Every structure is written in structure tokens, then in C-alpha cells.
Amino acid sequence: MPVTLKDIAREVGVSVTTASRALAGYPDVAPTTRQRVQQVAAALGYVPNTAARNLQRQRTDTLALVLPTTADLRFSDPFFSEFLSGLVQATGEAGFALTVATGSPNDETATYLRLIRSRRADGFVLVRTRRDDRRIALLQEAGVPFVSFGRVNGTPGVHCVDEDDVHGIHLMVDHLAGLGHTRIACIAEPTRFVKGYHRFRGYCLGLEAHGLSFAPDLVVETNYRQRSGYEAAQQLLAMPEPPTAIIACNDLLALGALSAIQARGLQAGHDVSVTGYDNIPLAEHAQPPLTTVDQPADKLGTLVAQMLTSLIRGDPVAEKQVILQPAAVIRQSSGPPPRAARRR
């Protein structure tokens, strides 16, 4: 039922070769012939069979994204869906398709190997990159192009897109220290992930820059979920000498922290300051509106897609590492420390 090149060739009275070359724009086909071929192709609604084309061309014009799916890293982050949105959009605009697969972390290598060997995709998008990430060596050895969302430092020559998380959190420390806070806690993402690690480092470096001492009990390393932010904040607030400010390493954690603060009868932004990271749409409408660091999710997705498709095409890629500079978004969840705390 589907119309093939053969149908067009028959209809026009020309060979399959000529039909193919006419549509592909080769110069060795007469203008009138080309026109007739194009006309018939359009009339019949011809679209090349992807499998046949992929087989012959030895490429698929497809990017692959493997979603990390584990119980504790649930995939409900609004940041991620905007990232995906940008990724899909730019992928399509570059004439590529995107296939999304899933692989549990235990057979992660197998998932990637299968995708590579089956030639299902020409390149890979890496997300949730870890500091020691087996996927990188795997893809490099296989010689498959890939772009990581999240900096990769150890290995040279890795293409990646990221925002400067260290600087981003540093901005929050600057902001809070500037307001007079001295006991600043941190609800950290897992530091085995590069972004979580850099955010935590930004916290440490920020404290140092302001001459504040690092107190291990003011740091709670947790996962990405809002509930964890809630629990971590509860724990921090229950301390004998609780922090006056909490830097949460993403907005969901921060929203959880806000919730914990209010559940305790305290006023966020007054009794305790809270900051987040990502500036998801919800942050603006939180109660109180959340001070955070802007991370333009869909733009980052777009950049990843553009870099990866360029890489695959062999187009020159200006920068191997594109690191966006973050901007602070100051809202009402942060304010000066309460007087009682200031007196200490």
C-alpha cells in the first residue's frame, strides 16, 4: 500500500535511480524530468521508507536518550520535562528523530551497548551524568558521538552543555551572606552526580569566600524529591541551634523545605531563608515566592540537541563545552536573619 520509488518511477516512466536522484537534487537529471518526478511524488504522497534509507545510508538521523529510572530518582522533575521539550524541538528542527529508551542502572551498560550495536541511533544524549560515569568510556570506545548535559571534567574531549552550578550556588551563598546569615545549611543532591557535586562545591567555596566555617551537620545529602527536601529541612530545624538559611540544591527540594518550615509554624523568608535552584515555573508562585538560580531548561535542551546534531554531521562545533552563566533570581523566600539569631 505504501508508495515507493518504484511507483513513482513507473508513473513517470523513468528508472528508480533517476527518480531517486531527481528527488535528492542531483544535477544529472533534466529539469523537466525532475519536475515531473517531484510532481508525481507530491501527488502520491511519497515519503522515503526510513528503514530502507537508514540501511543504505548507514545512519539513522536519530538521537537516543536513555531515561534514568529508579525508585528514588523518580522522573517527575518539571525541569526535566522542559529540558526534554527543548531537546525534542531542536532535534526535529535539525532533521533528526529522537528515540527515548529506558534502562535500569544495573543493566545500564547493556542498554547502551544494545542501542549502539543495533545502530538505532547516531548519537546519544547523556543526562544525570555521574562523576565517575561508565557510559563515557563506553561511548568513547565505541566511537559514538554524544553530548552530556552536565560537565565532564576527568575525561578530555567530551562534549557537554551545562550551566555553571558552582557559580550558581555561590550566588546564593553571596546573597545570604550579604543579608547577614552565618549559619547557612545545605540540602544537597546526591554528589555522585556531576551537577549535584558542583552545586555542593559551590556551597563550600561560597562559605569559604565569606569566611564562614563549614559545619558538616548543616549539610544533608539526599535525592531529588520534594519529600526529601521536606524531611531534610525538618531535620535541620530540629537542631539545637538551627540554621537561619537553607540552600536547597534544586527547587523541588526547596519547595519541600518551605513546606517543612511552614509546618513548623515558622515564616519562610523571615524566620528562615530558603533558596532553590532551577527556577522552575512553580518557584515564582510558591509561598513565599522562591529565591533561586535560573537555569533555562529548554534552552539547555536545545543546546544539547544542536551540539549533538552538529557533531554527528561533522559540522564544526565552536566549543566543546558550553557552560552558561547563571543568574540569581531574588524573591521573598530569603531575607535577613531574625534578630535573635543575629545577636549570637
Partner DNA sequence: AAAAGTATCCAAAACGTTTTGGATACGAGT
Partner DNA sequence: ACTCGTATCCAAAACGTTTTGGATACTTTT
Compute CA 61 distance to the chain's CA centroid, rounded to the nearest angstrom.
Answer: 21
Kindly state the smallest distance separating residue 50's Cβ from a second copy, in Å: 5
Q: How far apart are CA 61 and CA 98, in angstroms?
A: 9
> Any alpha helices (H) in the chain, and if so which ranges?
5-12, 16-24, 31-44, 50-57, 78-93, 108-117, 134-142, 165-179, 194-209, 226-237, 251-263, 281-284, 297-313, 339-343
CA distance 299 to 86: 6
Among 201, 257, 200, 199, which Cα is nearest to 228's?
257
Please identify which residue in the block is written with the cell numbers 546564593. Answer: 172
d(CA 280, CA 297): 8
- Out of DNA, a second copy, none, which partner does residue 62 contact, by CB within 5 to 8 A per kind? a second copy
In whole angstroms, the minimum distance from the beta carbon of 126 to a second copy comes to 16
Looking at the Cβ atoms of 60 and 182, the one nearer to a second copy is 60
Decide: is 61 part of the binding site for a second copy (CB under 8 A): no
Nearer to a second copy, 30 or 67 (CB): 67
**Of DNA, a second copy, none, which one does residue 29 interact with (CB within 5 to 8 Å by kind)?**
DNA
Going by the DSSP 8-state scheme, the letter that residue 216 receives in this structure is G
The residue (of 16 and 179) whose beta carbon lies closer to DNA is 16
All three cell numbers of 78, joined, read: 518539571
Residue 51 sits in the site that holds a second copy (CB under 8 A): yes
- For residues 158 and 110, give the distance between their C-alpha atoms in angstroms, rounded to a whole number: 21
Q: Which amino acid is at 161?
A: V
Binding at 320: pick from DNA, a second copy, none (beta carbon under 5-8 Å per type) = none
Residue 18's binding partner out of a second copy, DNA, none, with CB under 5 to 8 Å set by partner kind: DNA
Binding window for a second copy (CB under 8 A); candidates: 9-17, 130-138, 176-184, 222-230:
222-230
Q: Of 4 and 332, which CB lies nearer to DNA in the complex structure?
A: 4
Nearer Cβ to a second copy (160/254):
254
Residues in the site for DNA, rule: CB under 7 A?
Answer: 2, 4-6, 13-18, 20-21, 23-24, 28-31, 33, 46, 48-49, 52-53, 55-58
Among the residue ranges 34-42, 87-95, 154-162, 307-315, the one whose residues contact a second copy (CB under 8 A): 87-95
Kindly state whether residue 310 participates in binding a second copy, applying the rule CB under 8 A. Answer: no
Among 115, 77, 114, 78, CA closest to 98: 115
Kindly state whether residue 255 participates in binding a second copy, applying the rule CB under 8 A: yes
Measure the CA–CA gap between 54 and 97, rounded to whole angstroms.
Answer: 12
Greatest extent of the chain over all pairs of C-alpha atoms, in Å: 92
**Among residue numbers 160 through 179, which ones bind a second copy (CB under 8 A)?**
none
